[in-house]
Amino acid sequence: MNRASNEFSRIQTDAEALATRVKSLGAAMAGIGAAGTAIGYVANQFGLLNDAETKVFTSAMMVVSVMGMFLRTSAGLAVAQKVYSAACWVATVAQNALNISYGTFLALTGVGIAVIVAAAAAMAYFASSMNNATASVENFNSATAETPTHTRSIQRAGESAVTSRSQSGSSSDASFYRRGVE
């Protein structure tokens, strides 16, 4: 069974239908052009159009008539089919672009939601870690503040100066840190 023959038959039927429609359009255009030319002549006779206006209007209608007659020829049909083919190509490109953008939208929407959820989880983890670190520092500072200064082995520079001043009565201290208990 030759499956391609059915498609070729369908393409032939479509081409013949297009040719019939183009010939009908050509006949209609030729008729409109001829009728427009006659209307322009009659309008000039009744004084509705002056000679210059009649000449321009009649020329335009003759162009329409010639285009209609051209569409009825085989060359005109070939041009019409090429124009139709180009229009179909543009429509196909547009449809493919829409399909691609819709597929991209769906993919990015799913991935986008996953990225947002992952970012929210990472931010929650980071916030939890920062809260734990802050609590740890606060606990250390409160424990340090409660411990007497003379039992600590390492003292801060300000504590060292205060302790030295109170013990020795001198205000100069050469070292910022000292080890051991005095």
pLDDT tens track for 41-57 = 999 999 898 999 999 99
Q: Which domain, by its residues, includes 122?
A: 85-169
Taking the C-alpha atoms of residue 144 and residue 133, their distance in angstroms, rounded to an integer, is 16
Instruction: Clarify whether residues 104 and 144 are in a common domain.
Output: yes
Calculate helix-pair angle for 51-71, 3-45, nearest 10 degrees.
160
Kindly state the average pLDDT of the residues 114-133: 87
pTM over 0.75: no
Residue 133 lies in a domain: yes
The pLDDT of residue 4 is 67
At residue 112, what are phi and psi to the nearest 5 degrees? -60, -40
Q: Residue 160: is its pLDDT beyond 60?
A: no
Instruction: Clarify whether residues 17 and 57 are in a common domain.
Output: yes
Q: Residue 123: is its pLDDT beyond 90?
A: yes
